[in-house]
A and B are shown apart, each in its own frame.
Chain A
Amino acid sequence: MSNKLNHSMSLAKPDALEISNKQKIALAAGVIGLFILVLALFNTSFPNKAVFLTLSLGLIIGGIVVYSRDAYLTKLEGIKNDGVWFKSISSRGVWGWIVGVILTTFYIVLYFFPKYLGLGSDGEANTGLISLFDPLSHLLSGRNASQWFVYGTLYTVAILAFGYKFMLKYRHNRYQQLRTVSVMFFQLGFAFLIPEFMYVMNNDLPYYDLKSIWPLNYYIFDEWSVNGFLSNGNIGIALLLFGIISIFVITPILTYKYGKRWYCSWVCGCGGLAETAGDSFRQLSSKKMSAWKLERWLIHTVLVFSIVMTVAMIYTYLGYDKNDFWLTRDVFISLVVGFLTLVFAAVMYFKRQELGKDAKYGAIGYFIVIALLLVMHFTGTTDHLFYIKAGALRSAYGIYIGSIFSGVIGTGFYPILGNRSWCRFGCPMAAILGFQQRLFSKFRITTNGGQCISCGNCSNSCEMGIDVRAYAQKGENIVRSSCVGCGVCSAVCPRGVLKLENDSMEGRINPTEILLGNDVDLMDLVNKK
């Protein structure tokens, strides 16, 4: 037998499993809904935009809802992964590549050529796709739509509709259901509606999605953003303070208690899309050791980049003069270096043994950051940092990390690289949370004694590419910085081996050689070594 069970390189018969007539109708409805958007893109002038927008979104949502109901409610509750590796779209078949190319193209146009979507420039009215969304934007905030409003609406629709699908798929699993309700709520409320209403109340405030935390929200400390907050009195200052408290106080506490999942798979918008619309692609993430190595270099490089970039940004607009504002460049750079040193020293003091040779990489990373900051401080002029024009660093980050990595690759490549490639390889927020989770958190995935049968369902369904089985078959708990706590490994385990838990720090990491169930003397002998 060939290992390639995926026969789906043929378009004529992509799937081993047929879909029902009801599902075909639902699929057709969804395609018509999308087709209306395509017509709008090519400047079809609809007589009543509001009606056609409603019709389009209604058909898309309705199609997904009907399709999912027929897929899951016609069967008994349980794990529903039949044919995942046979279906063309979820096994890098032709449909997978087609969807990948369409998504990627959409992101490139969205980020770099919004005029093709119909964005009106210099006060002109919108045309094309963006104008179709004007009625909804007017309803919510009284202004014309932008490409970001279109994107935000479609993003929210995707999370809500596919979130519903995911809840049906896991209707026997309360953890999955609650988690999904949570991401749907945060997307609809915090990312979509509240910023619109905030604009209605005070249109000088910069766009602020309260749940989007620095460094994921890399523009919050930009000069225009900070000025926007500061020029808006108490509410602006409160929002800015909330942004700072989020990363320095709220995040460490919640991660200590619950692991990074409180954010990554319960709150975050990127995570929300990955868990709902991206669920069908979770098995595509690479579990190879080499992918893990790449992941660790890449994500920490992005983290260093984002920290240095942010510090440099803030540095450029701080004054030299103490009379101007207490936070001068000297004070700021000292604070940053002091804080990083404190974190570094604390980790080395408490966790030196646990880190092993990773401590060396940590130390190298720390000294690179400090060196960069000092070079910046002593070579910087008003408009040049690192001998580069100020702002170039920020725009490079915005383009390469903020747009290309997180959007074009992160989401566009869902059907190729899996649904969490941004979260896994790029997100600096995930890197910080992961660092806390690995070293200072009560969270772990507990392995149930000797019950693992090495089947591989857990590893296969891990969207973060963790080889869960490698731990479970050794009877070892899974404590990994990248784990977002989605709980799907636990759900699909046919032997009830995995449980996501918050428990004491002691014994959280428990490498074993001999598993529970064997001779107790032998376990004592071998595991003590």
Chain B
Amino acid sequence: MEHIVIIGNGISGVTLARHVRKLSDKKITIISAETDFFFSRTALMYIYMGHMKFEHTQPYEDWFWKKNRIELKKGFVNKVETDTKTLHFAEGDTLQYDKLIIATGSKPNKFGWPGQDLKGTMGMYHKQDLETLEAHAPNNKVCKRAVIVGGGLIGIELAEMLNSRNIPVTFLVREDSFWNGVLPQGESEMINRHIKNHHIDLRLSTNLKAINSDENGNVKSVIIEETGEELECNVVGLTAGVTPNIDFIKDSGIELGRGVKVNRFLETNVPDIYSIGDCAEQHEAIGNRRPIEAVWYTGRMMGETLAQTICGNPTEYKPGHWFNSAKFLDIEYQTYGWVFGERGRPEYEKHFHWKHEDDTKCITVAYDKNTNEFLGINTFGIRMRHENFDKWLTEKRDVDYVMNHLSEANFDPEFYSRFETEILKAYTNQLQTA
């Protein structure tokens, strides 16, 4: 019986295992050094905030794995021997595989800041990061202030986490507005204001210079690059993006770039070795996507796709229309299709932006100024239906059509105030004045 070994028990690896089991009788082993069972990484924040306990972040009950004959092994792979198809564990034992899938995800970026490995510094990616945070920031008496470095999705989640325990937060963001490498200006600015409304000390265009330590090797303060200011703090969150977590295969002969290089079939250069999820890097980017997509949904899709290939139906990774979502403190964000921020925006892409007067809801619709084709939408504080936008993008609808049918895509709970009329009015006015 063919032995499928998956390194990494995140969403990519687990999705793959589930689908392989549905399609075949192969022997499946999932290896993880992080946790015994699969959990939802995106839910780590809710454990610290007290919304859930760790066990609630596990999507499957513990009996699920045995019932589906998916073997789980806790261990750290420190060497892959591709010619003998053997894995060597840090614990000393070995494991043979017939097909190997590398789905080890990411690790937080560290850019060589002095003091970046002091006690009290952490990313927010692994379960162990959460444990470190719990130890260093149980409450606002032990942790008088926390500094977060890096204004992305994980950074703002970490800020929300600390805020829930009334720990003062200073949030250092390199850009001149929050996440504006991705978000258009109007949206990014609205989120800036929302962050400040939560009494978070948001510092834009601000970089970290160094982290200072006390006599015990704990974080004592940070120095700000631009002003030289010293900020006293007990915790430093390093959330300036993530990098594929692939150090353990550096010398294995598997071709690596920033991540594990794969073709459209998610195959590496070595036969019978594949890579999916955050750690996989496409030789050439697919459409507007990045070569490395560190997103929950794309990890899942790669798992769904690779299961076909492994079970005898070679299938290319051909993701459909781009979508994503996040939550910035109290404001939900969804995106369908492509809407670019200032950076990297194609010359033909034009935006219509509408913002509600309460400053917690807005949308940006992107369209092609030459053909009027609808390209994508960002929506904040208003839920929208994935299915509608997926369909409209496939049908290559023009922007007028989408604006006139926006109410069909509304996904807010019943009895919520609706804004389509107001939005359409603003859209029509803009056309007249343009």
Interface residue ranges, A against B (CB under 8 Å): 1, 3-6, 16-18, 76-79, 81-87, 172-175, 178, 283, 288-289, 446, 448-451, 453-457, 459-460, 469-470, 473, 487, 490-492, 494-496, 499-501, 513-522, 525-526
Contacts and interface: CB of A to CB of B under 8 A. Distances in A.
Contacts of B394: 520
B49 A174 contact: no
25 contacts: A1-B131, A17-B165, A17-B166, A76-B198, A76-B330, A77-B330, A82-B164, A84-B50, A86-B50, A178-B415, A451-B334, A453-B42, A453-B325, A454-B11, A454-B40, A454-B43, A456-B43, A456-B52, A460-B56, A496-B411, A516-B387, A519-B305, A519-B318, A522-B304, A526-B308
Contact of B51 (A6, A85, A454): A85
B49 A495 contact: no
B19 interface: yes
A496 B318 contact: no
B415 to A, nearest CB: 4
Contact of A449 (B49, B139, B318, B385): B385
Interface of B: 11, 19, 22, 40, 42-43, 46-47, 49-59, 61, 127, 130-131, 134, 138-139, 164-166, 197-198, 296-297, 300-301, 304-305, 308, 315-321, 323, 325-327, 329-330, 332, 334, 383-387, 390, 394, 411-417
A175 B386 contact: no
Contacts of A456: 40, 43, 46, 52, 56-59
Contacts of B139: 16
A519 B308 CA distance: 12
Contacts of B329: 76, 78
* Residue with the greatest number of chain A CB neighbours at <10 A, chosen from B317, B321, B412: B412
The 10 closest A-B pairs by CB, nearest first: A449-B386, A78-B330, A496-B383, A455-B43, A83-B50, A1-B131, A174-B415, A519-B318, A494-B327, A454-B40
Given A448-B411, A495-B325, 20 more contacts: A1-B127, A1-B131, A5-B53, A76-B198, A76-B330, A83-B164, A85-B50, A454-B11, A456-B52, A457-B51, A469-B59, A494-B327, A496-B384, A501-B414, A514-B304, A516-B387, A518-B319, A519-B305, A522-B305, A522-B318
Nearest to B197: A76
A499 B301 contact: no
Contacts of B131: 1
Nearest to B414: A175
A451 B324 CA distance: 7
Contact of B390 (A473, A492, A516): A516
Given A1-B127, A500-B413, A518 B330 contact: no
B49 A81 contact: yes
Nearest to B47: A5
Among B304, B316, B394, the one with the most A-chain Cβ atoms within 10 Å of its Cβ is: B304
A82 B11 contact: no
Given A5-B50, A288-B61, A517 B318 contact: no
Given A3-B55, A450-B386, A500-B413, A81 B134 contact: no
Nearest to A472: B59
Contacts of A501: 414
* Max count, chain A CB within 10 A of own CB: residue among B49, B326, B417: B49
B22 A449 contact: no
A495 B332 contact: yes
B323 A517 contact: yes
Contacts of B323: 449-451, 517
A5 B54 contact: yes
B329 to A, nearest CB: 7
A79 B330 contact: yes
A175 B19 CA distance: 38
A113 to B, nearest CB: 38
A500 B296 CA distance: 25
Contacts of B134: 1, 5
Contact of A496 (B47, B56, B332, B390): B332
B383 A499 contact: yes
A218 B414 CA distance: 33
A459 B56 contact: yes
A515 B413 CA distance: 22
B53 A3 contact: yes
B181 to A, nearest CB: 21
B50 A520 contact: no
Contacts of A175: 413-416
Contacts of B315: 519, 522
B51 A460 contact: yes
A288 B326 CA distance: 28
Nearest to A487: B413
Contacts of B51: 79, 81-82, 84-85, 457, 460, 492
A457 B59 contact: no
B50 A16 contact: yes
Nearest to B139: A16
Contacts of A487: 413-414
Contacts of A514: 304
Nearest to A178: B415
Contacts of A494: 327, 332
B413 A490 contact: yes
A146 B165 CA distance: 47
A195 B206 CA distance: 67
Nearest to A5: B53
A404 to B, nearest CB: 30
Contacts of A16: 50, 138-139, 165
Contacts of B413: 173-175, 487, 490-491, 499-500
Contacts of B411: 446, 448, 496, 499
A454 B39 CA distance: 9
Nearest to B164: A82
B320 A519 contact: yes
Contacts of A81: 49-51
B160 to A, nearest CB: 10
Contacts of A173: 413, 416
Nearest to B198: A76
B397 to A, nearest CB: 17
A470 B318 contact: no
A448 B386 contact: yes
A178 B383 CA distance: 20
A490 B412 CA distance: 9
A455 B300 contact: no
B200 to A, nearest CB: 12
A460 B52 contact: yes
A97 to B, nearest CB: 18
A178 B417 CA distance: 13
Given A5-B54, A16-B165, A457-B51, A450 B297 contact: yes
Contact of A495 (B56, B327, B416): B327
Given A174-B415, A455-B57, A496-B411, A517 B49 contact: no
B417 A174 contact: yes
A263 B304 CA distance: 41
A17 B163 CA distance: 12
Interface centre among A456, A460, A487, by most B CB within 10 Å? A456
A515 B43 contact: no
Most buried by A among B19, B51, B164: B51
Nearest to B321: A517
Contacts of B49: 81-83
Contacts of B417: 174
B382 to A, nearest CB: 9
Contacts of A76: 197-198, 329-330
Given A174-B415, A449-B386, A522-B304, A457 B43 contact: yes
